[in-house]
Amino acid sequence: MVTDKKIFNAALMRYRSGNVLIALGVLTWLPFIVLRIAGEKPSLFLYLPFHLLGVIGGARLRAYARKELSITPAKKSILQLFGHGLIILGILVWTPYFYLKLIQQPVEVMNYLPFHLTGVLSGIALLAIRLLTSRKNEGNV
């Protein structure tokens, strides 16, 4: 018999699995970075599908679990707006890289990676600050 507790546990498991998928998607780049430090030139396209599968798949899984758990999104704040904006800009940094690859121009990954990481990590930091301040404010209420 399916009970509310089992549904809740399944949704919670999906949420945690989404977190794990996101972490694995990010950690996909660890061997790439190690090889780059060692002087090799591994193909970006070998690692990119696994990165995107983990990050996008994990984010979708978490969103589905949040909906299933009836967790309403918090009111949008300026920090959240800037955080998402920085993440989007960090992702859009790759547009010229892929365009240059498409027209077969020589292009170096390391010219774009610092900007990508700066945008994405800064955006995540702003979202974390927003989360911490909202939890602190909820505790004081």
CA distances in angstroms from 86 to 80, 93, 99, 131, listed in the order given: 10, 11, 21, 16
Tally the domains of the chain. 2
The answer to pTM > 0.85 is no
Place of tokens 């546990």: 9
Separation between Cα atoms, residue 44 and residue 47, nearest integer Å: 6
pLDDT at 58: 94
| Contact (Cβ atoms closer than 8 angstroms) between residue 87 and residue 119 | yes
Question: Mean pLDDT in the chain?
Answer: 88
Tokens of 117: 């990481």
Which carries the bigger pLDDT value, residue 112 or residue 44? 112
- Of 73, 91, 117, which one is at a domain's C-terminal end? 73
Tokens of 79: 């920090």
66 and 96 inside one domain: no
pLDDT at 21: 95
106 and 53 inside one domain: no
Instruction: Kindly indicate the confidence band of residue 9, based on its pLDDT and cuts at 50, 70 and 90.
Output: confident
123 and 113 inside one domain: yes
Range of the domain at 38: 1-73
pLDDT at 77: 87
| Contact (Cβ atoms closer than 8 angstroms) between residue 89 and residue 116 | no
pLDDT at 43: 86
Q: Which of 38, 20, 36, 132 is nearest to 79 (CA)?
A: 132
3 and 20 inside one domain: yes
87 and 63 inside one domain: no
pLDDT at 109: 85
pLDDT at 88: 95
109 and 124 inside one domain: yes
pLDDT, tens only, 31-69:
998 998 999 988 888 999 999 999 999 999 999 998 888
39 and 18 inside one domain: yes
47 and 84 inside one domain: no
